[in-house]
Chain A
């Protein structure tokens, strides 16, 4: 299981890199396919970029950048959130590592 998480993390990093380089559209299909394979195996990976953040979100480990405010948003994802779905139940496997800022 640990190795699958490592693979998902690496693929997420490739995904991030491709976004940075503005070449994601060329590889998007392949990446979507990879994430779909993981999902079939029960591993659900989410990139919470742009999502609202508050301190009740235990699915992420946040680094608060700048001063705290009322409208905290996830502005960078270093590691994705990974859940495992098995026998109808879902469990958090990996907390996302994120940067949050008041926007």
Chain B
């Protein structure tokens, strides 16, 4: 025997499916729109069948083809005539459509073969059998029915403490979107039974929305406009205020939700009424709302009382009051129920899913004989197994007779892409359905034809994934015919040329006193391209000063150093161009546009001064900023010198020689560069820029991958050391953890860089952090102190002053004043003579863009 596990709330307005297995409860969500509920509505549109929320949209507009609330007609011989298909359809068939759609929610790959389906307490035998039949039509091998109040009670039951005594009378108060039901449940020794019920099929949340509109909003509009018959005009079908009516109805529903959590809410809308424009701001209090719905809520309490009276019970006899349905979220409903019954309402279960949850709990303890499994006695139900197998084989046979040929472009620049479908074989009575995986597109079930097209809407800049599925006349999916369709929007297309290299902008890297590249357009993106970047100004520029913001747009590899890339656009905005001072931290907006023929246009907007600078660059003309060039030159020189030093230290003669040669080449241009003036008209700066560019590229290539790998290893070892030491720090640990995290944040980019300089600078930062950690660790400080103390007097700049610090440090140590001791060790390090390394100028100017 197999547990059923699946529970279905087949509601009048909405339906849900849930599963309970091994203590795990799952309420499945609609893959289209990711909602837990499915509107119980079926629409037979011109060529397609829609089930759910989309179908509901046409309920009023296309009443002859769209059907909802058919649950009320279950068990009757009523048939709905569908104009579009010229056929009659039964409530059972409509319910089966909903159940089949719910089966699609199950994303776990399981194929539910049995389910517990809930029915209202009022359902008679005919109605119950009809529901069972709908379940069978939907492909369930076995269907168990459960009354909704019992399901809700079970959900509540399972949420309570084991020790609680459940025996007694329970009331299940179900106020949903459109219907109201009250049921009296008797629980005795674990057995639950609905002993009486009462209901109103036209009382629910939708009525409350309408009441807000009619009784609170319309009078305000009438008062402001003076149009007495406005309500009549507003509610006239296809009238002139139809759009406003839908808008207000939606806003009324939102307002109702807001009023569940706050004392008042505002309804804000603009409308043109009788040719005059109005701006409405209507404030509605919770009290006003309560007054409006009071009468309808009282009706529910009257029905509750009637049920109790009929059964000779009083509210004191009621053990629990279980709430079901979204409208029970309304505080006034809960207050009135509490005031009337004196029962404190338990809010532990979600009233919108309670029935489905209870059905799933019940299903977990309900067993059926699956045709796929042997029974408890080890006997296989051969008939059922054969029947099931036959169905599978039939489906596969049918599928093998069909051939679906798809034709579409896998890459597109358009907003929609045409899909051509050719079907070979006997396709009559089969349907297809195409859905987009993000949930924004669903064709519904459409009849197959021999040859046809579908226009698939594409989301911009992403891989749009669609599924094409084929169904037989009973909506059983023929799984072997399923096809996935992937269309990348915005990349590679015959009509648009791809970008050959990355386009980046140079921004400041203040941590390392250098600049870095930030990607604007990725290599292979299809032209034309447009992007707006938002950055902060990283230095203050006074009005009238010579200081500049430099916007360098480069083409090349985003992981390389800026200097190795080709500058294709350069904008310099100096203090002389400014209307007022530009303060550090103020915003800058950069809009870059690259046309089909790779012409670069930029728009720079300085938010603080409200100035706009527009430029157009031709890719053929080189762009060089002299200030940046000088700084880049200096940066490169310092770096090569440092590298030579480290190569020498590592006895890496070959690399050291190569670096020395590059340094010499670079220095050949130094004199000329520093002689150049801003207004130089010659092409010298281009010549020098070219030389610096070439040297930078050659320098990055020294040692090739071997050097990069070596630096990666060095980075990882420095990281490991910090990781090891950090937990031992006694002071400023949080600050150092944050700093470490900041370094690690850039790790993925760092390990992809081809720029040794970035790696070197990060290693340097890690090493610096490691020193900071040591100087904040008592055990290290003690060792270091002993080293300093035992050093020869010649190692000190001022040995006398150091000696008095020794005394103070010894005293602090003796009294275990470690924090004070740390300060003395810090001070002592300043008295030590240290080697002076090669120092780069700290007057880093950069681009001015952070």
A residues apposed to B, CB below 8 Å: 17, 20, 29, 32-33, 36-37, 55-59, 61-68, 75-76, 78, 81, 83, 85, 88-93, 95, 97, 99, 101
Q: B822 in the interface, Cβ–Cβ < 8 Å? A: no
A contact residues around B33 at 8 Å (CB):
58, 92, 95
B422 within 8 A of partner (CB): no
Chain B proximity of A35: nearest CB distance (Å): 10
Of the residues A64, A81, A95, contact of B58 by C-beta under 8 Å: A64
Nearest to B463 among chain A residues (CB) is: A88
B250 & A97 in contact (Cβ 8 Å cutoff)? yes
Verify A36–B250 contact, CB threshold 8 A: no
- The reply to whether B462 and A99 contact each other, CB–CB distance below 8 Å, is no
Residues of B within 8 A of A91 (CB): 34, 438-439
Q: State whether A81 and B250 are in contact (beta carbons under 8 Å apart), knowing that A55-B58, A64-B61 are contacts in the complex.
A: no
| Residue B238 lies at the interface, judged by CB distance under 8 Å to chain A | yes
CB atoms of A55 and B54 under 8 A apart: yes
Question: Which of A32, A36, A59, A68 lies in contact with B61, CB distance below 8 A?
Answer: A68
Which residues in B have their C-beta under 8 angstroms from that of A90?
438, 459, 462
Query: Contact at B441–A58, with CB atoms within 8 Å?
Result: yes
A-contacting 9-mer, from B240-248, B495-503, B562-570, B686-694 = B240-248
Instruction: State whether A20 and B605 are in contact (beta carbons under 8 Å apart), knowing that A56-B441, A97-B250 are contacts in the complex.
Output: no
Most buried by B among A29, A56, A95: A56
- The answer to whether B462 and A92 touch across the interface, beta carbons within 8 angstroms, is no
B57 at the interface (CB under 8 A from A): yes
A38 to B505, CA, bound (A): 22
Closest CB of chain B to A101's CB: distance in Å?
8
Chain A proximity mask over B215-251: 1 for CB below 8 Å, otherwise 0: 0000000000000000000000010001100110011
**C-alpha spacing A37/B589, complex, angstroms:** 13
Q: Which residues of B contact A97 (CB under 8 A)?
A: 250
A-chain residues with CB within 8 Å of residue B246 when the two chains form the complex: 63, 65, 99
- How many B residues have CB within 8 A of the partner chain? 39
Q: Give the number of A-B contacts (CB < 8 Å).
A: 91
For residue B207, CB closer than 8 A to chain A, the reply is: no
A72 to B265, CA, bound (A): 34
CB distance from A4 to the nearest CB of B (A): 16
Write out the residue numbers on chain A whose beta carbons fall within 8 Å of the beta carbon of B62: 68
Asked if A83 and B58 sit within 8 Å, CB to CB, the answer is no
Distance, CA A67 to CA B58, complexed state (A): 11
Q: Is the CB of A76 within 8 A of B243?
A: yes
Question: Does B712 belong to the interface (CB within 8 Å)?
Answer: no
Q: Does B444 make an interface contact (CB < 8 A)?
A: yes
Given A66-B242, A78-B247, A99-B246, residue A32 in contact with residue B532 (CB < 8 A): yes
Q: Is the CB of B250 within 8 A of A78?
A: yes
Which partner residue on chain A sits nearest B591 by CB separation?
A32
Additional pairs, 11, CB under 8 Å, beyond known A56-B443, A90-B462, A92-B440: A17-B270, A29-B605, A33-B534, A67-B61, A68-B61, A75-B243, A76-B243, A85-B462, A92-B33, A93-B34, A99-B246
Instruction: Indicate whether A83 sits within 8 Å of B243 (C-beta atoms), given known contacts A20-B270, A61-B53, A64-B58.
Output: no
Q: A68 contacts which chain B residues (CB < 8 A)?
A: 61-62
Contact B440 A81 (CB under 8 A): yes
Is the C-beta of B808 less than 8 angstroms from some C-beta in chain A?
A: no
B54 touches A58 (CB 8 A): yes
Query: How many Å from the CB of A22 to the closest CB on chain B?
Result: 12
8 shortest A-B CB distances, which residue pairs?
A59-B440, A63-B246, A92-B439, A65-B243, A58-B442, A90-B438, A56-B443, A64-B61
Give which listed residue, A17, A64, A81, contacts B57 with CB less than 8 A: A64
B57 close to A36 (CB less than 8 A): no
CB distance from B467 to the nearest CB of A (A): 14
- Supposing A29-B589, A32-B532, A99-B243 touch, asked if A58 and B250 sit within 8 A by C-beta, the answer is no
